[in-house]
Amino acid sequence: MESSAEELEVGATGLTVEQAIANLRSPDLSLRYYAAWWLGKFRVREPAAVDALIAALEDEADRTELGGYPLRRNAARALGKLSDRRAVPGLICCLDCDDFYVREAAAQSLAMLGDPSAIPVLMKLLDGGVDAAVDVPGRPHLTQPYDSVLEALGALQAKSAIPLIQPFTEHPSPKIQYAALRAMYQLTQEDSYGQRLLAGLNSDDLKLRRVVLSDLGAIGYVGAAAAIASCRAENSFKLLSLKGLLESQLQTQPTQLSDSAIHLMSLMDSLL
């Protein structure tokens, strides 16, 4: 564990690292599922834990009636939190899994791990463009986890993917649009993409406003600071968004506080 506070929290669950790793190989599928979640939740970066989670990406035992892989999903999500790039090949393989949610979790984790070797396979998921990005009959999702794929390509600075990403800024789904705008801003730094994303804060849908808050924080769009602070959303979401902006400012000027950083901290104080 990384801190005494975290150790106390782990202890309160009644599970140890060794038990969690062992449970990933248990015949009890519920124990395996929980162990994968637990190792990610508490960011257990021990090599044995990472190895066990990577192995779980190929699990065949835990299947839903519709053919999903719950354990693979949890393992993929956990590996993104552990900062170990040994997981990258296995996660790339998961992008070819029949389970939509495994592909989604893999794309999100590859974005977190920051390995550009994932870019070609992520780009492949955009084959067919906007015309292929349609609902799957009888399922509550599109053919691919487009928002997660677009966000991953932006985070990985996949400039070669710009021609593939740009058309998605006009996708009928606002959520997909926002993901594409987020990626395009990260890849081009063109203000027009940030402004279009900022306009999403005026959506009538609270869930979409929350998505935009997250996106603006992720791209560090400082021009959105005042709009974020006054957005019709919970303060917790606004604070996380402003925190993203502040972190971006501190990365560009790590040795001193800029006027923008001071302004951001003032806005955050006003929301506490």
pLDDT digits (tens, 9 = 90+) for 63-96: 999 999 999 999 999 999 999 999 999 999 999 9
- 246 domain residue, yes or no: no
pLDDT at 252: 79
Cα separation, 109 vs 250, whole angstroms: 24
Statement: residue 3 has pLDDT above 50: no
Statement: residue 259 has pLDDT above 50: yes
Cα separation, 246 vs 90, whole angstroms: 34
CA angle centred on 171, ends 115 and 157, rounded to 5°: 20
Statement: residue 14 has pLDDT above 80: no
DSSP letter assigned to residue 136: P
pLDDT at 5: 37
pLDDT digits (tens, 9 = 90+) for 116-158: 999 999 999 999 999 999 999 999 999 999 999 999 999 999 9
Q: 66: which residues sit within 8 A by CB, 6+ positions away?
A: none
DSSP letter assigned to residue 135: B
Nearest Cα residue to 21 out of 57, 47, 2, 1: 47
Six token digits for residue 237? 């979401």
Run of H or E residues at 124:
helix 119-124
For residue 13, name the pLDDT band (cuts at 50, 70, 90): low
Question: What percentage of the chain reaches a pLDDT higher than 90?
Answer: 89
Bridge partners, residue 142, by sequence: 135
From the CB of residue 15, how many other CB atoms can be counted at a distance below 10 Å? 17
- The answer to whether the CB of 39 falls within 8 A of the CB of 21 is yes
- 227 domain residue, yes or no: no
Domain containing 76: what range?
15-113
CATH number assigned to the domain comprising residue 29: 1.25.10.10
Statement: residue 179 has pLDDT above 70: yes
- 145 domain residue, yes or no: no
Lowest mean pLDDT among 2-11, 63-72, 85-94, 242-251: 2-11
- 6 domain residue, yes or no: no
Cα separation, 179 vs 58, whole angstroms: 29
Cα separation, 130 vs 171, whole angstroms: 6
Nearest Cα residue to 154 out of 145, 162, 146, 143: 162
pLDDT at 11: 47
- 29 domain residue, yes or no: yes
pLDDT digits (tens, 9 = 90+) for 98-112: 999 999 999 999 999
Q: Based on the structure, what is the number of domains in the chain?
A: 1
DSSP letter assigned to residue 34: H
pLDDT at 9: 47
Q: 256: which residues sit within 8 A by CB, 6+ positions away?
A: none
pLDDT at 253: 74
- The answer to whether the CB of 78 falls within 8 A of the CB of 39 is yes
From the CB of residue 160, how many other CB atoms can be counted at a distance below 10 Å? 12
For residue 256, name the pLDDT band (cuts at 50, 70, 90): confident
- The answer to whether the CB of 21 falls within 8 A of the CB of 35 is yes
- 65 domain residue, yes or no: yes
Six token digits for residue 57? 């990406």
pLDDT digits (tens, 9 = 90+) for 33-49: 999 999 999 999 999 99
pLDDT at 2: 43
Statement: residue 7 has pLDDT above 50: no
pLDDT at 258: 84
- 135 domain residue, yes or no: no
- 49 domain residue, yes or no: yes
Burial class (CB in 10 A: 0-12, 13-18, 19+), 64: exposed
